[in-house]
Amino acid sequence: MELYELTVHELIEKLEKGEITSEEITKSYFERIKEKDGQVKAYVSILEEQAMTNAKQVDCDRKAGKMLSKFAGIPIGIKDNVCVTGTRTTCSSKMLENFVAPYNATVIEKLKAEDIICLGKLNMDEFAMGSSTETSAFFPTHNPWDLTRVPGGSSGGSAAAVASDMAPWALGSDTGGSIRQPASLCGVVGLKPTYGLVSRFGLIAYASSLDQIGPLTKDVTDSAILLNLIAGHDPKDTTSMEYEKKDYKGSLINDVKGMKIGVPKEYLGEGTSAEVKEAMFKVIKKYQELGAIVEECSLDVGQYASAVYYILACAEASSNLGRFDGIRYGYRTEKFENLRDIYKNSRSEGFGTEVKRRIILGTYVLSSGYYDAYYKKAQKVRTMIKNAYAELFKKYDLLLSPVSPTTAFKISEKMNDPLQMYLADICTVPVNIGGLPGMSIPCDVDSEGLPIGFQLIAKPFAEETIFRAAFTYEQNTNFREEHKPTFK
């Protein structure tokens, strides 16, 4: 078995035993990247030189008997909307193509404190707007299970890198499903933590009230380990909660007996493909076998979640992306005679179609005369959705649903049909609207061998419940052993 095929907890074990060095691990990833990234195209920037230097330093320190974190020398891939000092942070946009971040995101500070090594920055939909990684201004990323298909998005680079063993784990961000949907389409584990659990400082904002950074990993154990590393209140982000620090690894218990799981019937209806439905029923059956109580329930108001999402997210984005104006940093047009031209042409040339679409949509819904009908109403429905979830969680420990109504679609299949693309988020968006934690766990493949994930949703700050149920499922099934990306 190659080093790059191991999970992080396996790598840590070998590092601790002194069987391998950080240099060997890191090198194996760069070799793998050289071998596969030409096809997959997950990375926007590869930080080989710096990573190798850091890996050697860690090995040196470890040899010298220095007190090091047990994660020291473990590599990671980072979605390219998370700022890393001195490296390009592009959001896969022409607007920030040459933007070098002058500071570290809080999550990066936390990883650096453990001497975790950054392999590179991962492709995404431009400014995290999309569900296929095709809106990247640079190139689309390909799904390692079928290179003619999308990896999902917007954290498609992160999911594809982990799925193709080009990173042992990665950070993504999730605003409406951007971690879970690509995780599902690429057959890896993706967690969107509760809003407020992980600091957003240094995450280039798409929709501030929905964005959350989270782990994409090969298995549930790694997900818990990475969440342990990045969670916690940050004084630089007032929306991050002061919450008691938990050890999520402690929740990795192989037992769901008596756990109550609700399955909202709305997500197993018409829009969901037969194969995805079938996979869900198999998961439900498995949980029942393992002693959980699974019941059908209803989240009727969830049908409005997509409308609410596209109003609120676009409204916030229209304001958040105003700073990309060609004045201080980022792309500036060469064609200008006055200030208005600088703004108009820099933004017209620097942003892609989908970003412009959402800025226009957001500007519209915030305009005077429309604010009440759209933004304000959407906020009210958001509260209704939160309340509906709260009601369900009085009864259930977890909710279970598909992550994506279909498996990975073909590249360019939906690019000209934004509404179809928006429907790819239909099962994940409500979770962001509710501010809840949600995880995608791979469970099956369809008739074409494309992975299917199921979603577990818990009440706010109850990630441990998700970890326990996901771990139990993983321990009693064999997805990773039975299915591997084929690069066909």
Please state, as a whole number, how many other Cβ atoms lie within 10 Å of the Cβ of residue 453: 30
Interface with another protein in residues 206-225 (CB under 8 A): 207-209
Strand partners, 394: none
**Nearest to residue 398, comparing CAs of 284, 310, 482?**
284
Assess 348 for contact with another protein (CB under 8 A): no
Q: Name the nearest CA neighbour of 135 among 381, 342, 418.
A: 418
Asked if 91 interacts with another protein (CB under 8 A), we say yes
Q: Site for another protein (CB under 8 A): how many residues?
A: 44
Q: Which residue type, as a one-letter code, is found at position 200?
A: R
Integer Cα distance of 413 and 50 in angstroms: 38
Cβ within 8 Å of residue 418, ≥6 positions away: 354, 357
The Cα 60–Cα 71 span in angstroms is 15
User: Is 367 designated active site?
Assistant: no
Which CB atom, from 383 or from 412, has the smaller least distance to another protein?
383
Closest CA to 446 of 272, 288, 216: 272
Q: How far is the CB of 106 from another protein (least distance, A)?
A: 10
Residue 154, preceding peptide bond in cis (omega within 30° of 0): yes
Beta-carbon contacts of residue 348 (< 8 Å; ≥ 6 apart): 333, 356
Which part of the chain contacts another protein (CB under 8 A), choosing from 155-163, 266-274, 363-371, 399-407? 363-371
333 binds another protein (CB under 8 A): no
Q: Least Å distance between CB 469 and another protein?
A: 31
> Which of these, 91, 94, 135, lies nearest to 422 by C-alpha position?
135
Nearer to another protein, 268 or 429 (CB): 429
Q: Toward another protein, which CB reaches closer, 268 or 378?
A: 378
Our finding on whether 89 is near another protein (CB under 8 A) is yes
Nearer to another protein, 83 or 220 (CB): 83
* Interface with another protein, residue 243, by CB under 8 A: no
Positions in 302-321 near another protein (CB under 8 A): 315-316, 318-319
Note whether 337 binds another protein by CB under 8 A.
no
Residue in 269, 300, 322, 360 binding another protein, rule: CB under 8 A: 322
**DSSP SS3 for 296:** strand
Q: Is 105 in the site for another protein (CB under 8 A)?
A: yes
Near another protein by CB under 8 A: residue from 328, 334, 447, 478: 328
Residue 107 or 423 with smaller CB distance to another protein: 107
Active site residue 412: no
CA distance linking residue 401 with residue 262, whole number of Å: 9
Tell the residue number behind the tokens 């209803």, with chain if given.
298
Q: Confirm if 186 and 144 have CB atoms less than 8 A apart.
A: yes
Smaller CB distance to another protein: residue 329 or 487?
329
Helix (H, G, I), strand (E, B) or coil at 203: strand
CA dist 69 to 48, 63, 468, Å?
22, 13, 25
Per DSSP, 42 falls in state -
Q: Give me the catalytic one of 178, 184, 251, 306.
A: 178
Choice from 242, 337, 368, 481 touching another protein (CB under 8 A): 368
**Three-class DSSP category at 198:** strand
Q: Which residue, 367 or 387, is less far from another protein as judged by CB?
A: 367
The answer to whether the beta carbons of residues 121 and 45 sit under 8 Å apart is: yes
Work out whether 394 is an interface residue with another protein (CB under 8 A): no
Candidate list 36, 41, 79, 94, residue with the active-site label: 79
Among positions 332, 343, 418, 449, the unique one binding another protein when judged by CB under 8 A: 343
Task: Decide: is 465 part of the binding site for another protein (CB under 8 A).
Answer: no
Residue 79 falls in the annotated catalytic set? yes
Indicate which single residue of 3, 51, 72, 204 sits in contact with another protein (rule: CB under 8 A).
204
Angstrom distance (rounded) from CA 422 to CA 425: 6
Among 86, 235, 269, 291, binds another protein (CB under 8 A): 235
The Cα diameter of the chain in Å comes to 70
Among 243, 304, 329, 487, binds another protein (CB under 8 A): 329
Q: Which of 30, 71, 201, 389 binds another protein (CB under 8 A)?
A: 201
Nearer of residues 368 and 416 to another protein, judged by Cβ:
368
3-state helix, strand, coil in the chain (%, to 5): 45, 15, 40
Q: Which residues bind another protein (CB under 8 A)?
A: 81-83, 89, 91, 96, 99, 101-103, 105, 200-205, 207-209, 235-239, 315-316, 318-319, 322-325, 327-329, 339, 343, 363, 366-368, 371, 375
Q: Which residues belong to the active site?
A: 79, 154, 178
